[in-house]
């Protein structure tokens, strides 16, 4: 009970913090719009290729959902860093607060915001003319898929924050990994257009499983082979992230 109450009140705190940063909200809302508008223009000619069976907007919208979740969750550790830096974390750990609740509430708050963002992008994409093959149920399923991806990355990022306890290395690692993770997947290009080596590499990339799953739901329908695989791999990825985050928290708090 105590743990649940601690998780609740801290999650509230983190969500409140994010909502109060108005600039952040505006950027987070406009960035996906920018991706959608910009990339569909840049890659417009791709629509004319025979490999591309749909408009690039239709193809790329699932990618934007995944990208937004990836970037948002990969930076989730910054809030934890601030708590460490300001002495908030050590002050908190001198209280009876549930140890488990500290990282859990942070990850939960990140996921809540990402889910809201993902839903908004879906709505936006639909307004722009994207047709979701599996309808509202498919959108919800897609949210489950990207939530697992976000859970893994948010927990991992918090773990890195607790490991480094400084912004520079965290920023370095996040910058180093996020863009390659996106490009080493079918986020921007259909599989058939990817070189062979990349088509192999992407099978080790959790981001790709999210993209494949969400894209199936938007373009094709309920392709359960793909969907199950996505769910399982991403659940495993989430477990890895949570384990890492928990280990780093233990290490920090001895």
Partner 1 sequence: MHIIQTNQLTKVFKGNVRAVDSIDFEVDDGEIFGFLGPNGAGKTTTIKMLNTLISPTSGSAFVTGFDIAKNPAEVRKNIGYVSQDVGVDEHATGRENLTLYGHFYRLDGRTIKQRVKELFEMVDLTDYADKLASTYSGGMRKRLDIAMGLIHRPRIIFLDEPTTGLDPQTRLHIWDYIRELARKMGITIFLTTHYMDEADKLADRIAIIDHGRIMTIDTPDALKRSIGGDVVTLSPRESGESERAAFMERTRSILSNKDFVVDMQQTDGNLSIFVESGETAAPAIMNSLASEGIQVQTLSFSRPSLDDVFLKYTGRTMREEEGTRTTFVQMQRRRNRR
Dist CA 65 CA 86 (whole Å): 33
DSSP 187: S
Q: What is the dihedral of CA 47, 48, 53, 55, to 10 degrees?
A: 30
Considering only 20, 22, 48, 136, the residue that binds partner 1 (CB under 8 A) is 20
Q: Per CB under 8 A, does 21 bind partner 1? A: yes
Beta carbon nearer to partner 1, 13 or 44: 13
Dist CA 199 CA 191 (whole Å): 7
CA distances from 180 to 59, 67, 177 (A): 20, 12, 6
Question: 190: closest CA among 162, 164, 146, 220?
Answer: 220
Binders of partner 1 among 88-127, rule CB under 8 A?
A: 88, 90-97
Least distance in angstroms from the C-beta of 154 to partner 1: 19
CA distances from 115 to 147, 196, 207, 213 (A): 7, 33, 16, 16
Q: Per CB under 8 A, does 3 bind partner 1? A: no
Q: Per CB under 8 A, does 6 bind partner 1? A: yes
Binders of partner 1 among 214-253, rule CB under 8 A?
A: 253
Question: 215: closest CA among 203, 200, 230?
Answer: 230
Q: Per CB under 8 A, does 133 bind partner 1? A: no
Beta carbon nearer to partner 1, 32 or 77: 77
Considering only 10, 158, 187, 246, the residue that binds partner 1 (CB under 8 A) is 10
Least distance in angstroms from the C-beta of 105 to partner 1: 11
Site residues, partner 1 (CB under 8 A): 2, 5-6, 9-10, 13, 16-17, 20-21, 86-88, 90-97, 253-254
């Amino acid at each position: 009970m105590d743990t649940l109450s601690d998780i609740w009140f801290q999650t509230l705190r983190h969500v409140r913090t994010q909502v109060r940063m108005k600039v952040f909200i505006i950027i987070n809302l406009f960035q996906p719009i920018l991706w959608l508008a910009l990339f569909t223009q840049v890659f417009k000619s791709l629509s004319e290729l025979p490999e591309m069976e749909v408009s690039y907007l239709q193809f790329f919208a699932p990618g934007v959902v995944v990208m937004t979740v990836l970037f948002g969750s990969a930076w989730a550790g910054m809030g934890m860093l601030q708590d460490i830096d300001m002495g908030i974390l050590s002050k908190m750990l001198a209280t009876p607060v549930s140890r488990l609740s500290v990282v859990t509430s942070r990850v939960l708050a990140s996921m809540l915001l990402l889910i809201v963002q993902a839903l908004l992008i879906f709505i936006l994409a639909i307004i722009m003319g994207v047709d979701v093959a599996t309808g509202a149920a498919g959108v919800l399923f897609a949210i489950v898929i990207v939530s697992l991806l976000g859970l893994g990355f948010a927990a991992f990022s918090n773990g890195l924050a607790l490991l480094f306890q400084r912004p520079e290395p965290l920023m370095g690692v996040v910058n180093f990994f996020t863009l390659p993770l996106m490009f080493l997947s079918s986020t921007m290009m259909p599989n058939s257009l990817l070189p062979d080596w990349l088509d192999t590499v992407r099978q080790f990339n959790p981001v790709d499983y999210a993209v494949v799953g969400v894209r199936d739901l938007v373009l094709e329908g309920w392709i359960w082979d793909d969907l199950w695989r996505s769910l399982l791999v991403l659940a495993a990825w989430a477990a890895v992230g949570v384990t890492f985050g928990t280990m780093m928290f233990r290490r920090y708090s001895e």
